Amino acid sequence: MTASADAVRALDHALSSYVRTDTFPLGIRMLRPGEAVPEGLRIPSRDVGEQWIICQSIGIARRYGWSIAVGREDVICPLASVSFGFRPPNARYDSGDAALGMYCSDPAAAEALEGATWRFETGEYERLCVAPLAKLSFEPHVIAVYGNSAQVMRLVNAALHARGGRIESSTGGRLDCAELVIQTMRTGEPKVVLPCNGDRVFGMAQDTEMAFAFPAERAEEIVAGLEATHRGGVRFPIPVAMRSTVSMPPKYQDLLASLDDAPTPD
């Protein structure tokens, strides 16, 4: 399921009004084999003469405001390439060799970590498209928003306004691109996503940032939730408790008293 152009425009306006992120909220679409690349998207290997991995492409889209499509010829990260189905896995990949020594202490743990990674089937999709909501030339499958913890909290509030319950998220601390896109598409549910090491190194995700992803079909629900919770008093920037009479140091109190005792000029 996707979101209409009107729903995307309303969502972009609501995010600008109620969440105010530092980088552009994004729409993401997976293209099936043979599906044409939407108009206006840059394919890095063709148009820029470079190869951009998925977290890097997401970072460029949200910071530069570019619309990007990447596939097998672009994605030189072997982990993302297999997870997104652009290349088939092999025994070395499935064994968790890439995680051994870096993320895991022994082969069994590494294999378990790799086996728990979210994946599309090999060849299920041909490209990932990503662009700022304000510039979308395609109907997105997933909306991804990076922000600080308060901004992500506001999106959690919005997602739960009509349904209640809790947002359930799962992370392995790596391959956050798979968690943003594949996990969201597979589960059909919103997610809080912890940027991984690769996203920080190549996508320039900051230590102050988190991400929130949700199926694009819920765009109208998120807009309604943002508006309603804002009216209810849950807002960003967070209004802090500043309205009280503060206590001045004794020396300042004495000075104020002396000022009050001074004769008023005629």
What are 104-147's pLDDT values in tens digits? Answer: 999 999 999 999 999 999 999 999 999 999 999 999 999 999 99
d(CA 113, CA 173): 10
For the chain, domain boundaries: 5-261
Q: What is the pLDDT of residue 1?
A: 63
Q: What secondary structure does DSSP assign to 179-216, as a single string?
A: IIIIIHHHH-S-EEE---HHHHHHS---TT-EEEEEEG
- Work out the percent of the chain whose per-residue pLDDT is above 70: 99
Q: Tell me which residues of the chain have a pLDDT lower than 70.
A: 1, 266
> What spatial distance separates the first Cα and last Cα of the chain, rounded to whole Å?
77
CA torsion angle 126 198 21 1 (round to 10): 30
d(CA 154, CA 166): 13
d(CA 163, CA 221): 10
Please answer whether residues 167 and 190 qualify as being in contact, where contact means their C-beta atoms are separated by less than 8 angstroms: yes
Q: What is the pLDDT of residue 263?
A: 81
